[in-house]
Structure 1
């Protein structure tokens, strides 16, 4: 406990004097000023139910940190919610907010030279942002997943926010009344927390633990449960210990840790959004790994051990009760790197040594895996020279080969209008472009189009190709998402015309535009590529100008 803390300035110096003057006025004692100074990163907002309980967690976390001999400070950041913050600028603020959070944290924590931080992770973009900030600042950091929301019932059946999201498309198609949609909406969410499926939020919470950056056994967890409050208390104790032990993120975020996390994601059919987020974390942590390449390499080599909604019939509650992330990694032990470090000071092998899986029907052993066919498939081809991503369900009979004429749309709204007008016919490949990180800017989501197609009865009769992102909860139809290079970067998607033939073959991992190189070159020579809204100020303009391509994590260029 004698290590020099970076937050303890030379007595009598200007920084010491000015800080002391401020803090004494806040009632902080001289004795407390010498303790480890811990940031509680609270990405909270009154705008969304996923953050609704975080402010209550802060006070308990402060108590735990003080009891452990630390001095806590709450730090607030932006708090994007996919279902709320996506309303403006075609959803562009969602992914862009991830990197804004990272910079919020840097300004507050690095500006004040605090000694460590515990991050309260909730909705989709907060967990990756917290991991990115940990990698960038490289000070002792612990991620606390603040849990998933309890779901309701409708007409005697399970009903959660994904069901409402899907049924909105059915209402648009006239297959559901507004009264029915309202009733579903009223019952779907029964408390605070993130979406209760294997969407991006729960996937990233589990990633935090698989990487070694969250307490073992802490994910997934029901928000406001006794277990969550126990984790809060333990995290407050542990972060102070980590400061004295000088356990740093870059010692944990190694190649082995990333491989462990990727294998865990593949084994539970996690969200495809984990790919770009993990790449972004690696970029910030200065860990030279190709996450996209790893997903491509391990797909088909890692067994599928859990089938949680929307990928299967099991619930996130059942996954938690069966042992959660730790139990999944136990079943995967032969594929794990046991020497990878964790924030506990133990290795992954030591953490897993005595773990028992509570229900092997929910989290199956390797010998009884659901299968070995990958549900997250990275594909390439003349339409996606870098990558495109296809998400399949655990038990999936959808078509994985598709060839048809393109029908091209430049916006989500235009495409949905095309569904309503009957422009999209069975056998077509719907091309939705201009939704990439630069094109939106900020990366728009194509999910509303997918649900509109599903509601119109076209979900299994057409294919979709887009440079936009998809909700981690979307699992309908044959969709190639996150095409890279995006259209706004001059990728081939920008030059597709109505009627061009596009072929998709998931098994051979290809997506191709059946247009000759000569014709494509001719088009490129005579077509201007729109690279985002011009003359605009603000965060999205900054993001568009600085964002790197998706295979680099869509982080901000240095």
Structure 2
């Protein structure tokens, strides 16, 4: 086994301190020699985005232990765009992304742990996790923890996206009919834990992480607490220990090719425009000389729109997942992708795509030959009003 950075000189003061601390935590002396894995958890009772993460962490610990690793759960701030945006006129939201990265760095780098699995949920967690992974450059696996089940009101499907849209209309119009609908239906719109069920920033970034190669292939988007998600948790626990032993680091995965693949997927799914600034921040942390906006401009004329998922269309996120999710979208995009890009599983993107069967039947995911639209709904523009670029 290769020398682990967490293994301290025997007899040194910090070695002795760990022996003392960890014995009380139930760990034997042999734990000092094993791969030590951080489980990055943003569990919180403020928002349902995070309310299931403690159980995810518990099952992940068991999987890491079974694989021969030693798991250590660490916590970060848990921002929710809907819940923690009330104070400071929303000023805590974007900055919390970087606070997450700092939280991780202080704990994981401070303790010199060998690898980490990041439990990614609401909008700012996954970008913060990627920034930390790029900055620390230790074996890292991003584990998207799923989207929330939607509800039903007055016999119709209702989700948080619809509640947000109607509430915004009420603020402007002060229509009592809208208020009555909100009073009755808002409480029915979310039926369990997970991120918002549309293709907002959270699900967009979960899929982008798969295109970057930082998640297990074929795991986004995913229903929270579903058998598919729990299987991914089990696989992640085993894989992160292997990654540490292989010394498979983000610097081998987060390459210019990976960012180009991610930008291609972003346009093809018409994802959240916030993904551009998050990708730019991750590229900066990884030391990649990339202008993500310019890359999107370059790709805009060649990458068509393959899906129209709420709020860009009537397709539900559940229908997208059932049709194959990010993996199926990437399969359709294969001719436009750099398939040599490496992933956390030690395989190239191309090797993964060879295992994905074409759908062969009409569905929510269109083909390059017959797309939903010739161009993405995420349109980069640049001109006198926006000399540094903007989206429409």
In proportion to residue count, which structure has more strand?
1
- SS of the equivalent of 2:26 reads coil
Matched, 1:139 2:141: no
- Higher mean alpha-carbon deviation, 148-157 vs 249-258, is at 148-157
TM-score, normalised with respect to structure 1: 0.69
Higher-Rg structure is: 1
Please give the per-residue CA displacement for 1:195-251, whole angstroms capped at 9, x wherever unaligned. 001100000000111100000011000000000000000000000000000000011
CA distance in 1, matches of 2:362, 2:201: 24
- SS of the equivalent of 1:51 reads coil
Alignment match, 1:30: 29
Q: Deviation of residue 25 (structure 1)? A: 2.0
Q: Deviation of residue 26 (structure 1)? A: 1.7
Please give the per-residue CA displacement for 1:347-397, whole angstroms capped at 9, x wherever unaligned. 00001102024464211111111122231122222222212221xxxxxxx
Please give the per-residue CA displacement for 1:111-145, whole angstroms capped at 9, x wherever unaligned. 00000000000000001100110000000000000
Alignment match, 1:388: 390
- Higher mean alpha-carbon deviation, 358-367 vs 329-338, is at 358-367
CA distance in 1, matches of 2:332, 2:181: 42
Q: Deviation of residue 24 (structure 1)? A: 1.4
Structure 1 unaligned residues grouped into runs of 5+: 391-558
Matched, 1:305 2:306: yes
Contact 1:357 1:363 in 2 (8 A): no
Alignment match, 2:245: 244
- Higher mean alpha-carbon deviation, 284-293 vs 369-378, is at 369-378
- Of the three residues 364, 371, 376, the one matched with 1:362 is 364
Please give the per-residue CA displacement for 1:266-299, whole angstroms capped at 9, x wherever unaligned. 1110000000000000000111111111011111
CA distance in 2, matches of 1:180, 1:105: 42
CA distance in 2, matches of 1:177, 1:313: 21
- SS of the equivalent of 1:167 reads helix
Alignment match, 2:212: 211
CA distance in 2, matches of 1:46, 1:181: 23
Matched, 1:261 2:250: no
CA distance in 2, matches of 1:144, 1:206: 11
CA distance in 1, matches of 2:91, 2:227: 36
- SS of the equivalent of 1:85 reads coil
- SS of the equivalent of 1:60 reads helix
Distance change (3 Å), C-alpha of 1:330 and 1:360? farther
Contact 1:322 1:360 in 2 (8 A): no
Structure 2 unaligned residues grouped into runs of 5+: none
Alignment match, 2:174: 174
Alignment match, 1:371: 373
CA distance in 2, matches of 1:121, 1:330: 24
- Higher mean alpha-carbon deviation, 17-26 vs 50-59, is at 17-26
Matches within 5 A, 1:187-198: 187-198=188-199
CA distance in 2, matches of 1:171, 1:305: 33
Q: Deviation of residue 169 (structure 1)? A: 2.5
Contact 1:341 1:347 in 2 (8 A): yes
Contact 2:269 2:376 in 1 (8 A): no
Q: Deviation of residue 170 (structure 1)? A: 2.8
CA distance in 1, matches of 2:168, 2:128: 31
Contact 1:132 1:284 in 2 (8 A): yes
Alignment match, 2:12: 13
Contact 1:218 1:228 in 2 (8 A): yes
Matches within 5 A, 1:75-86: 75-86=74-85
- SS of the equivalent of 2:49 reads helix
- SS of the equivalent of 1:73 reads strand
CA distance in 2, matches of 1:66, 1:183: 46
CA distance in 2, matches of 1:344, 1:269: 27
- SS of the equivalent of 1:370 reads coil
Please give the per-residue CA displacement for 1:76-119, whole angstroms capped at 9, x wherever unaligned. 00010000010011101000000000000000000000000000
Q: Which has the higher contact order (CA 8 A, sep 6+)?
A: 2
Q: Deviation of residue 158 (structure 1)? A: 1.6
Runs of 4+ in 1 over 6 A off after TM superposition: none
- SS of the equivalent of 2:379 reads strand
CA distance in 2, matches of 1:164, 1:234: 35
In proportion to residue count, which structure has more helix?
2
Alignment match, 1:285: 286
- SS of the equivalent of 1:86 reads coil
What is the RMSD computed on CA atoms of the aligned residues? 1.0
- Higher mean alpha-carbon deviation, 215-224 vs 364-373, is at 364-373
Q: Deviation of residue 177 (structure 1)? A: 4.4
CA distance in 1, matches of 2:383, 2:269: 27
Matches within 5 A, 1:94-243: 94-172=93-171, 173-175=173-175, 176-243=177-244
Distance change (3 Å), C-alpha of 1:200 and 1:121? same
Alignment match, 1:71: 70
TM-score, normalised with respect to structure 2: 0.97
Count matched residues: 389
CA distance in 1, matches of 2:203, 2:178: 31
